[in-house]
């Protein structure tokens, strides 16, 4: 129900994307408390 509501109303999560080549930077970013909302690691990059 909640996913359908989000789709109908154009609601999307707020994320920060990092390519896998920058995984250590993403972890440091998260541990330092600089991550806003969610961190996503992109395996395609």
Domain locations in the chain as residue ranges: 13-45
* 45 — pLDDT class (breaks 50, 70, 90): low
Per-residue pLDDT at 42: 95
**And the tokens for 6?**
């989000």
Give the tens place of pLDDT for each residue, 9-39.
999 999 999 999 999 999 999 999 999 899 9
Q: DSSP string of the chain?
A: -HHHHHHHTT----EEEEEGGGHHHHHHHHHTT---SEEEEETT-
* 5 — pLDDT class (breaks 50, 70, 90): very high
């Amino acid at each position: 129900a909640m996913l359908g509501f989000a789709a109908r109303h154009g609601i999307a999560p707020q994320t920060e994307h990092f390519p896998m080549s920058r995984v250590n930077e993403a972890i440091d970013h998260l541990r330092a408390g600089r991550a806003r909302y969610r961190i996503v690691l992109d395996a395609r990059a």
